Amino acid sequence: MPYTSLNPATGQVVAQLPSLAGLQWQAALADTYAVWRVWRETGFSQRAALMERLGMLLREQRDSLAALITQEMGKLRREALAEIDKCALACDYYAVHGEPFLRAEMIPTDATSSYVLYEPLGVVLAVMPWNFPFWQVFRFAVPALMAGNAGVLKPASSVPQCAQAIERLFGEAGFPAGLFRTMLVDAREVADVIASPHIAAVTLTGSEAAGRAVAAAAGQVLKKSVLELGGSDPFIVLDDADIELASTVAVQARYLNAGQSCIAAKRFIVLPQVAEAFLARFAAKVAALQPGDPAQDATTLAPLARVDLRDQLHQQVLASIELGAVARLGCRPLPGDGAYYAASILDQVKPGMPAYHEELFGPVAIVLRAADEEDAIRLANDSRFGLGASIWSRNSPWAEKLARRIESGSVFINGMVKSDPRLPFGGIKDSGFGRELSYHGIREFVNAKTVWVK
């Protein structure tokens, strides 16, 4: 199947690229493996210098790279620029901290000397989605290569040009040819790629279905996997919250990237004392979002990445309305070209509705009305997902206590959930396992080798 790049704002096909045949990707993997065997012997200073150069190139080319993101997956131009900046930040961060994170760890025992070495595993396969076509690649590749691994990217079929641009950037920065490689392979061949003797481990960001398939394939051949899957993050507004601040951040937290983010706030859990005040301000700010050309600065609501994704979202909304949910705002596709969906709020959502149990990957906020604070915690945890969460309260120490009761990989208090190179990122339950970023992420794809000397 070819990789098809189309412009979500117009629906026009931009490019079509063929998938690699089996013999082609097998040869490519063998080449990357050979390059890795040399790369693993390089010192951290050499790796860090190349990583700094990569960060510099990202900043120099940020306008053209952001334009490519906007064209290929529909992201607002300013959000695409921020995505490139974040990739550069990750390069800078690991150039400085990669070596300390992987320094030999001395441990006192009955030996004369005993310590733990952190050594690279080999070639890491990354199966990546379309919604953050640069950042999700860089957050795996930068720590993996700093640790002495090689990286092979299997991108989503709708963003091949972004994937090829990333490979080009690694080459321009001076990394050995083939150390980071983009492979346009058919999704049906991913299990065969994982089984290749040249692949040591796999990481995936994507859907639950894709995660289960990749984890099963990796488990079958006893290879390490890290999965970052879906999310349905709760946004809990307590009765002492700063309503103006919470409602303002809520708009960004839900509608960034047209709501196409695993860590977007999706379930707005409100207490009775503040429900109407919060929702009135939130709805007014959501209604002010302007759909349009994502390349224009005046546009504040981007299209979805594909029409089929928009249609799937609308079916979830309609099915929930049929079961009693209330369309407080929007809840409809927008007419005209492109995959646009109205900025929406779905109120009175209850168990049994698709909106309650499923991830809504698009610009639809769902409202859950809690009876009290205890009920708000129950609602937050009543999900098979566990990626992120946020709590809004003027009493931060109390919110910190509540955070310990939230079942998720992260909890942000009075702030929007986001990934940060300095902090570990990942989820629990059906949101996946393993961590990216910080020192936790760089240690996912290394061999913790014990050395004992008498």
Catalytic residues: 228, 262
Helices (H) and strands (E) in the chain, counts: 15, 20
Q: Note whether 14 and 72 are within 8 A (CB).
A: yes
Residues 196-200: contacts with CB within 8 Å, 24+ apart? Answer: 196/26, 196/29, 198/29, 198/30, 198/32, 198/33, 198/122, 198/123, 199/29, 199/122, 199/123, 199/124, 199/125, 199/152, 199/223, 200/121, 200/122, 200/123, 200/124, 200/149, 200/224, 200/445
Rounded CA-CA distance 408/226 in Å is: 16
The β-bridge relationship of strands 105-106 and 113-120 is antiparallel
Decide if 12 contacts 71 (C-beta within 8 A): no
Q: Which helix (H) or strand (E) holds 432?
A: strand 432-433
CA 205 – CA 230 distance, rounded (Å)? 9
Choose among 338, 239, 351: nearest CA to 293. 338
Is residue 111 classed as helix, strand or coil in its secondary structure? coil
* Distance from the Cα of residue 264 to its chain's centroid: 10
Q: Cβ distance 169 to 58 under 8 Å?
A: yes
- Distances 323 to 62, 291, 348, 349, 371 between C-alpha atoms, Å: 46, 29, 10, 9, 21
Are 134 and 69 contacting, i.e. CB atoms less than 8 angstroms apart? yes
